[in-house]
Structure 1
């Protein structure tokens, strides 16, 4: 039952984050859809860590290069997701208010993705590795 509550909480967080992203795009004051390119970063961010987790045996206590590279690539993707709206705002493609809404949405979405890996990443009775 705790897994279902966590899943509902995570989906609520994802919906709130996407709402901030949509508000930054669709409000009549802003009306520019350039910030939707951040969606690519939302999809790409968990991929390196998921690949590394399938390739790496977690029995050793030492960190290994594959896992460290995956964390490095994930960090680069997350930083790029925060930098893209700022670049758009500096180039005057979007307004600064839209940039603030998109950055708020980024914070909520990436916290939700991180929470997903905390809740479902190390649990032995539930695993995505069967897929």
Structure 2
């Protein structure tokens, strides 16, 4: 039960980071000279979040491969869509159109960052120290 709770907490944290990611990229997505550098921001934030997810996975989940689908599936089916709908209901129409566009265009990049972070977090976590603690 504790393992399932940890995976859901990690999934909610990832969904919150997704909302932060969308808002930060939407702020930079204004008609200005910075628009030409938007791809650098998208990939830079994806790399940063992949590293954060790696650390979160290493310290929260540990060396358990079952955690990957238990984090990704609830994130995709429940938390991401729920938090995104809340965000869209709170902002004005033009900003929500920008959020929708960025959600569709950068969603695959963020999903790859999640998968890479989770997989490498499980790989580099020390299985033997975790087993001795329990």
TM-score, length basis structure 2? 0.39
Higher RCO (CA 8 Å, separation ≥ 6 residues):
2
Larger CA Rg, structure 1 vs 2:
1
TM-score, length basis structure 1? 0.40
Which structure is higher in helix share?
2
